Amino acid sequence: MLLQLNIQNFAIVKSLDIDWQSGMTTITGETGAGKSIAIDALGLCLGDRATTNIVRPNSKKAELAATFETQNNISAQQWLTHHDLLLESSSECILRRVISAEGRSKSYINGSQVPLVQLKEVGQLLINIHGQHDHQLIVKSSQQCKLLDEYSDHKPVLDEVKHYYQQWHKLSKELTLLQQSKQQREAQQQLLQYQVNELDEFALQLGEFETLESDYKRHANAQDLLDTTLQALQTLAENESFNVLDSLRQCSENINALSRLDNRLNNVAVILSDSLIQLDEAGSDLKHYYQELELDPQAYAIIEDRYSTALQLAKKHSLTPENLVGFHQELILELAAISNDESRISSVVEQIAKTEQNYQQAASALTDSRKEAAKKLSLLITQSMQELNMPHGQFHIAIDSVSDNSTKRQLTSISANGFDKIDFKVSINPGQTLEAMSKVASGGELSRISLAMQVILADKVITPTLVFDEVDVGISGPTAAMVGNKLQQLAKNTQVICVTHLPQVACKGHQQFFVSKLTDGEHTETKVTELSEQSRIQEIARLLAGDKISQHSLANAQELLAS
């Protein structure tokens, strides 16, 4: 429940502290005094949009804080715990809002700065505010559906419908995109298939180009290799008149003989001996290479053709021949991806069909639940209308469902709320047929019907605190007393705060505040005062008689408070 509301420099409020009690609290005051100012401040604590003109003139900022007791509010405590905002030493929840004169806003929960959206989230678990124009909303089909769903208490079924609708919408969007790009993909697929086939046919292997390049150079220069190798071989070992090996061998033998006469030649003898061995090995290897080297025009033609093709393909695709194999693999993967898109279309079509089936089953269950709840709620609202001085009032919730009109549902018109169109119908006078609320009910009648719904729904969808901001507009006389009784009845289980101009409603409060506006000609300030028992008599009398309070009006006020 709401414990305290602190307001600083808000609109025409300089400073205000309001302590709230359990049960029913009524707020009254003169016209234009700002009876709803506490409700407006409370709304900002709960995350309402802030504007610059809410800051009191000549003030730098407005500060608003609402303190709630959450000891018996399990949902709120779980939310605070989940967001690590629960106070260790207290079960209170303090929502605070600071708004600068420039319009900048900061939000706090239990002293920790939080995004504004978190004020809204936790606020929905703490309090429910019904505005003075709420009755105008109940003529709208969307609002009627929302009210019925709140009463029905079938959130799991509704969530299931929303889940399948979102899934269906996502898949349908994906299918549209796939189908729109199908022609482009087909053209790309043809090009890729041609390129892949061409590279498949060539079938260049990893590292093959490097080998091709080496073989091509060898075959292209085979005659030079043969001639130069033979010349080198002759010079080194096979020329009978002179060759390097014979000359070096003779030189080595001579120096070796001399080293036995002078050991200082030993090192030279060793070097010559080693050189002789190495040159001998080189000559042997060179002879072997020469014998293996051959001119093969047929092999050269094959190598030249493959080498040339590799160069052409690389140039065609604007890359180096060494990267041709990797490029080939990339094309294969890209082609496979396009093929996967085609198979994805089939898969998405199947998933859409399955999702539609699941949606229809969930939507049917939702329709059944709504119809069952609609019967109960229609009876309850009919009864409440008759108690609120509409003795012949009848209320009926009509549900127009696709399932009732077609054996095959057309999913082009589905929504996140199912197939149903909800229509609240009323009859006010005897013999009058049931018609849409907007055609039959007056403003005052709509207010009473709206209040009846809110009282019924408050029992069903309970929050610790309910605020009614002049929801009794257009109501007077005996009806006003019945409205007061309804609100007081509601306050047995829930904290009720009601801004009202009706004495029959104001007198039902366990606590009453009076809102007044003071001015010195230059500055204006709103005050909120908790009324004593005697002051309440004066205020109820003022509401009954206006500014001229008589003994008769005072007696009537005492009678109302006593009742």
Per DSSP, the residues of 270-281 read: HHHHHHHHHHHH
Say what the pLDDT of residue 548 is: 82
Structure tokens at 128: 């429910």
**Residues 236, 243: contact at Cβ < 8 Å?**
yes
pLDDT of residue 365 exceeding 90, the answer is yes
| pLDDT reported for residue 97 | 94
Output the six-digit token pair for 455.
Answer: 């009282």
pLDDT at 407: 41
* Average pLDDT score, the chain: 85
Inter-axis angle of helices 443-460 and 324-387, nearest 10: 110
42 CB neighbour count, 10 Å cutoff:
25
410-425 per-position pLDDT tens digit: 555 678 889 898 999 9
The DSSP annotation for 490-519 comes to HTTTSEEEEE-S-HHHHTT-SEEEEEEEEE
Element (H, E) at 263: none
Whether the pLDDT of residue 108 is over 50: the answer is yes
Q: What is the pLDDT of residues 8-18, one digit of tens each?
A: 999 888 899 99
Contacts of 163 (CB under 8 A, 6+ apart): none
Measured CA distances, 490 to 23, 407, 415, 498, 508 (Å): 9, 44, 35, 12, 11
Q: Which residue has the higher pLDDT, 549 or 120?
A: 120
Q: Would residue 443 be called left, alpha or beta, if left means φ above 0 and alpha means ψ between -120 and 50 degrees? A: alpha
Q: Which domains does the chain have, with CATH numbers?
A: 1-131+462-531 (3.40.50.300), 186-337 (no CATH), 533-563 (no CATH)
297 or 113: which carries more pLDDT confidence? 113
Q: Is the pLDDT of residue 478 over 80?
A: no
CB 509 within 8 A of CB 21: no
* CA proximity to 274, closest of 306, 313, 248: 248
Question: According to the model, what pLDDT value does residue 545 have?
Answer: 84
Closest CA to 128 of 454, 352, 399: 454
Query: Is residue 180's pLDDT more than 70?
Result: no
The pLDDT > 70 percentage for the chain reads 91
Q: What is residue 186's predicted lDDT score, i.e. its pLDDT?
A: 67
For position 21, what pLDDT does the model report? Answer: 93
**pLDDT band at 473, cuts 50/70/90?**
low
User: What integer pLDDT is reported at residue 133 of this predicted model?
Assistant: 56
> d(Cα 417, Cα 375) in Å, to the nearest integer?
19
CA gap 318, 332 in Å, rounded: 18
Q: How many CB atoms lie within 10 A of CB 86?
A: 18
Q: Would the pLDDT of 27 be above 90?
A: yes
**Token pair belonging to 286:** 């060179």
Interval 533-561: pLDDT, tens: 999 999 999 988 877 888 888 898 898 88
- Rounded to whole angstroms, the Cα distance separating 17 from 8 reads 9
Cα Rg of the chain (Å, integer): 47
Confidence of residue 403 (pLDDT cuts 50, 70, 90): low
Task: List pLDDT tens digits, range 225-242.
Answer: 888 888 888 888 888 788
Q: Are 393 and 385 in contact (CB under 8 A)?
A: yes
Check residue 408 and give its pLDDT.
44
The confidence score (pLDDT) of residue 492 equals 85
Position 409 confidence tier, pLDDT thresholds 50, 70, 90: very low
- DSSP string computed for 355-400: HHHHHHHHHHHHHHHHHHHHHHHHHHHHHHHHHTT-TT-EEEEEEE
Q: Residue 502 in contact with residue 477, Cβ under 8 Å?
A: no
C-alpha triplet 387, 392, 393: angle, nearest 5°: 70
Record the pTM: 0.61
**Distance of alpha carbon 366 from the chain centroid:** 25
The number of beta carbons lying within 10 Å of the beta carbon of residue 390 is 23
pLDDT digits (tens, 9 = 90+) for 65-87: 999 999 888 889 999 999 999 98
Going by pLDDT thresholds of 50, 70 and 90, the confidence category of residue 472 is low
Average pLDDT rounded to a whole number, residues 269-276: 90
pLDDT score for 98: 94
- What is the per-residue pLDDT across 447-465, written as a single tens digit (0 to 9) for each? 778 777 877 776 665 678 8
Give buried/exposed letters for 359-377 (b at 16+ CB in 10 A, else e).
Answer: bbebbbbbbebbbebbeeb
Query: In sequence order, what are the beta bridge partners of 67?
Result: 4, 94
If you average pLDDT over residues 493-509, what whole number do you get? 90
Residue 48: pLDDT over 70:
yes
